[in-house]
Amino acid sequence: MNTLTKTIEYFLFITTELTVLFIGISAIVAMVLMYVPQETLKSWLSKRGLFGNILGAVFGALTPFCACSTIPVTLGLLNAGAPFGPVMSFVIASPLLNPIIISMVAALMGLKACLLYFGVTFFGSIVFGLVLEKIGGAKYVKDIRVKQSCCCDKENKIPSGFWERIKVAFKSAWQDFIAVLVYLLIGVGVGAGIYGYMPQEFVVKVAGPQNPFAIPVAALVGIPLYIRAETAIPIGLALAQKGMSMGAVIALIIGGAGMAIPEMVMLASIFRKRLVASIVAVIFATAVIGGYVFNLLV
């Protein structure tokens, strides 16, 4: 009964914290984007070379798109003639660096972990965007058109008054929260079960700092296990509290957020299989390298 009580307390505490965090950060981002036109952000990707890749990664970090909006934006940029490398940096950064993930990592795992996570994924997005362009990945883009659609459609009209914009921002944040609530509750529920009932000795033995293979295995496990990062992070937090190495936790989050099966399926609708496989390999490499860096520095 004592264990059950602690499990329920953990579930309620993490759910409340993530709810406030998600709605607050989403509203702030929505407000910022009202003052920075998306056309201005997209124009960044017209830059070529290293600077273009940096701006592509920044664009991915600033725009909290889900996969159903990322894919049309990606194809629209490519059809408009944007350089392939910066667009790939955007594609890689978008699921890994959106403001919700960054704020959740900071709140649940600490500022140092957040800064390292951001550094590893941001650097990886830039480097691998350059690599994918150099190896000729542009020739694997399908000649198709994708319409902007689905769950992320929102009214495009932006009110002129400040308080009206705040109201619209929180309405948008609430809609986003409702869309991910099921995934968040699943993640927190599984995490609470791990926190309350999984033996710490087992986690330390299988995925502790002394197991050098824990990081690549965690990155692979993240692929089929999670369909939203909001699910991955609470589970990763619970495993970390049970003794899982921070590197393995970060590899799990990067693998789950970046290589989610639904997003890979949608990428396959605009890219040929070889390019999709290259993107999966890139994110897996980022997860593994980032995991080992975390174990060395945290």
> Residue 206 contacts by C-beta under 8 Å, 6 or more apart in sequence?
214
Q: What does the pLDDT read at residue 66?
A: 56
Amino acid at 193: G
Sign of the dihedral defined by the CA atoms of residues 126, 94, 262, 113, in that order: positive
CB under 8 Å to 174, separation ≥6 — which residues?
23
Angle between helices 200-207 and 214-225 (to 10 degrees): 110
Which pLDDT score is estimated for 123? 92
Q: Which two tokens stand for residue 121?
A: 């994924």
- Tell me how far apart the alpha carbons of residues 259 and 255 are, in angstroms, rounded to a whole number: 5
114 Cβ neighbours under 8 A, 6+ residues apart: 102, 105, 106
Inter-residue contact 292 to 283 (CB < 8 Å): no
User: What gap in Å lies between CA 104 and CA 258, rounded to an integer?
Assistant: 16
Q: What is the pLDDT along the chain (298 residues), one digit of tens a residue?
A: 667 888 888 888 888 887 887 788 778 877 876 776 656 666 666 667 788 889 888 888 876 555 556 676 777 777 777 788 888 998 888 878 877 778 878 877 788 888 888 998 899 899 989 998 888 888 888 765 544 444 444 445 677 788 888 888 888 888 878 877 887 788 788 778 877 777 767 777 777 777 878 888 888 877 665 556 667 777 777 888 888 888 888 888 888 777 766 677 777 878 888 888 888 888 888 889 888 988 888 6
In this structure, what DSSP letter does residue 242 have? Answer: T
User: What pLDDT is attached to residue 156?
Assistant: 53
